[in-house]
Chain A
Amino acid sequence: MAIAPIFRSVLRSPAGAVLISLQIALTLAIVSNSIFIIKERVDKMARPTGMPEEQILTARVMYFGKNIDYAAQARRDLDFLLQQPGVMNATHTNSLPLAQGGSTSTICYTADSRGEEGCPYSAAIYNGGYRLLDTLGLNLLEGRDFRVEEILGNTFGGTIKSQLIILSKATADKYFPAGDALGKTLYVAEKPHTIIGIVERLQSYWVHGSEEEAEMAGLLPVYNHDFFSRLVIRAESDAIPALKQNLERDLLKLNDRRVISRIHTVKEMRDRIYADDQAMLVILICVIVLLVVITGLGTAGLVSFTVARRQKQIGTRRALGARKVDILGYFLLENGLISGAGAALGCALAIALNQYLMQSYELPRIGLEYVAATVVLLLLIGQSASYFPALRASTVSPAVATRTV
């Protein structure tokens, strides 16, 4: 079909066409960037913690009684828990992945290192009792776990006494890019720590920093039982619901001078820590759906108007021998050209918007596939929106042309 007449008729009253293209361009910029942000968030939320997530249950234990031998009570709790059906392991820790709160230490190459060069990174440090590695279900790639006699009692800042450390592979590779970290020494709190083990993955308790930061973590063989502790239990996934339900009652039976709360599965911890990302997702999806609906209906409205205005023109063409399908094709092609022009402008706008977001909000560069997919989506919407008005145009009777002449 000849494109030239379409151009001419569009140019004769360009306002409608300009408005449709502008709308498509803006929608394209917003939708493609929104989809891109959604993809970013979905990826962020899907990052693995390094734990077998469906097997982990955690709870906060807060003692308020005086003169409690915390370590002895912890021992009794663990003995009890290990006898429960399905329980594979249990221990205490200051924190665990997804916990939101915990302890971070700067790790240095030497005792007197300062600044970026000597102490380039910080890592989440999990201080845990015996069996923490196994309770968290971490995959040990190299080296070994701490031995029971290596676990030191100490608390906050108590890294001072420990001399051993287990690191996540990401952390080990950062300090020793050659991959020969095992057996090497790093300094935590100015004291030497020998790397005795490397686990495949161990996520930080804080996940909202950079992707790199979230992978920086290590274990220290230091744990001192005091009024606050976090219990971690690893159990067969089908045993978790019953355990969760009875945990508070059972532990209070062993000692009721404490509060057992925040009994969470990893899924619940995920929901909590990623609540804002989840909300952003929902909002962006709503925005995309509404935008697409509005753009679709707006296009349909404007095409109907064009059709209504050109009744006589259509009638004349029909009278001169144009088939229904020619009229349908004409309007679809016209809309395709207008939307196409809008999409071209929209690609530029989408990239400009992404540039702005990169500069102001540290968003990465948008993949062109997101823009391309949005172009396809919007062209499809535009074509379907103009299909029914165009179909109506094609049913205009040739007699219309004769009526008002």
Chain B
Amino acid sequence: MLSYYIKLGLKRLGETPVLTLLILMAMALGIAVSVTMLALHHAMAYNPAEEKSGRLFAVQLAAYGNDMETWGEEDGLPIQVTHRDAMNLRESTIPLRQTPMFRMALTLESHRQDMPPSADFVVRVADRDFFEMFGVNFVYGGPWDKTIDLDTARVAVINQSVNEYAFGGGNNVGKILLMNETEYRVVGITEDSNPLPRYYDLTSGAYPITPDSVFIPYSLAPQLESFPNGNISGWAAEPVNEFADLLQTEFVWQVYWVELPDAQAVAAYRDYLAGYVDQQQQLGRFQNGQARGHIRDVQQWLTYNRVIKDDNRVMVGLSFMFLLVCLVNTVGLLLARFLRRMNETGVRRALGASKLQIFQQYITEVSLLGLLGGGAGLLLSMVGLWGIRSLYTQYATIAYLDATMVAAAVAISLASSLIAGTYPAYRVCAAQPSLFLKAQ
């Protein structure tokens, strides 16, 4: 029976080409617009930490003083910590892994001929644990030795792009990288990866275009002469004339992450932070109404930092209203299409077809339209996402359809066609066949 309905449906589609085209267009556009916006939202809401999301925690400290009521975000916590606190936190043995981090802009020089110096590579300063915590894959070599986190050395881990730029590719572990005319020994070369949103450091935008390309030990911080290239915030009027001064101040300018493998470690670390705040208060710091420490896992951190902009939410909402308009439109057009065939339906009813069979026939036809419209919508949403990628350079690498989104598109198109088709199909089979037969 179903194959007969499908055949019938296909025949009908060709009979009224203009109406069919109008219906398909409305469905395809509605689906395309909503899937495009949903796919962008989906990509922006991605959590690159995946299964590690619940183990990695960003640490926040209300370390300000001067009897201030509140400072930082709305909850009275800044999203970054001071160098002093980072150094103290590093001494805790509770976390399985941990690292402070900040970003720098240094100028690289290439060993290749005709390659001009470049200030376009982002340099990240962090502890060795960074690589394992944030899933960085090595092609050659590996992270620097743990001892370097305490007893510093001028070493660097670089990604493939820097490897290409500086040496022309290949295994260059052990060679010298020149940054700001200072020599760094390359210990590892990583894959190029640009996890977006940049969950581990959201202070310079959640979707930066340039990936972190060079990594150097945090223990080098006191020797660095240039200022970090990131967010630096302070509540006190402290003079900072050179970078070394910044290390002594209450300015916050680095993000601190800990890896806590289980609930026990989480509880222990919370206690540790409470104790740390008490201890610092006795030393005269943390003199504020909010004094406390806090940790947030990756998903909480992404939400807290509002990585999805209001614009994107508004667009998703509008796109679904758009789909609704298309559905109302489709209901009207389907109604017109089906009622036009009332006579034929009347004959079939009179010849013994049940209401249910008529309903099935029309729903089959609607589902066919839904599949065609959905398919066209999926193709159009690829065009839409191409448009999004050219409009927003920061989403150029992420605004694509993934398997989830294709499944969502199929679900949306089937649901839409059923929602749009049920009422017209019901109207047709509920009508009195005799009325239409008479007119014949």
Contacts and interface: CB of A to CB of B under 8 A. Distances in A.
Interface in B389-417: 391-393
Interface stretch (A3-11, A20-28, A48-56): A20-28
A259 B180 CA distance: 11
A138 interface: no
A43 B329 CA distance: 34
A278 B311 CA distance: 12
Interface stretch (B117-125, B258-266, B353-361): B117-125
Contacts of A229: none
Nearest to A106: B235
B311 A294 contact: no
Interface stretch (A128-136, A166-174, A296-304, A315-323): A296-304
B308 interface: no
A154 B319 CA distance: 51
B336 A290 contact: no
Interface in B1-49: 19, 22, 25-26, 29, 33
Contact of B439 (A20, A22, A227, A404): A404
Nearest to B105: A62
A290 B37 CA distance: 15
Contact of A275 (B321, B332, B392): B392
Interface in A345-404: 357, 360-362, 404
Contacts of B69: 115
Interface string B64-105: 001111000000000000000000000000000000000001
A373 to B, nearest CB: 18
A301 B315 contact: no
Nearest to A26: B325
A115 B331 CA distance: 58
A158 B106 CA distance: 23
Interface string A218-241: 000000101110000000000000
Residue of A114, A115, A279, A404 ringed by the most chain B CB atoms within 10 A:
A279
Contact of A114 (B66, B106, B116): B66
A291 interface: yes
B391 A156 contact: no
A278 B393 CA distance: 12
A29 interface: yes
Interface in A260-316: 261, 275-276, 278-280, 282-284, 286-287, 290-291, 294-295, 297-298, 301-302, 304-305, 308-309
A309 B341 CA distance: 11
Contact of A298 (B120, B240, B333): B333
Contacts of A297: 22, 25-26
A189 interface: yes
A305 B339 contact: yes
B144 to A, nearest CB: 23
Contact of B241 (A158, A261, A295): A158
B329 A298 contact: yes
Contact of B322 (A60, A228, A276, A287): A287
B328 interface: yes
B321 A26 contact: yes
Contact of B310 (A62, A279, A290, A361): A361
B241 A259 contact: no
Contacts of A33: 318
A361 B241 contact: no
B394 to A, nearest CB: 8
Interface string A11-54: 00001100110110011011001100100000000000000000
Interface string A129-164: 000000000000000000000000011111010000
Interface in B179-206: 179-181
A64 interface: yes
B325 A361 contact: no
Interface stretch (B52-60, B226-234, B279-287, B294-302): B226-234
A181 B305 CA distance: 38
A90 to B, nearest CB: 21
A20 B331 CA distance: 10
Contacts of B326: 294
Given A15-B335, A157-B239, A361 B313 contact: yes
B251 to A, nearest CB: 8
A180 to B, nearest CB: 27
Contacts of B313: 360-361
Contact of B332 (A16, A26, A160, A291): A16
B205 to A, nearest CB: 9
A213 interface: no
Nearest to A257: B181
A177 interface: no
Contacts of A19: 328-329, 331-332, 335
A395 to B, nearest CB: 18
Contacts of B116: 259
B340 interface: yes
- 3 nearest A-B residue pairs (beta carbon): A305-B336, A64-B107, A279-B391
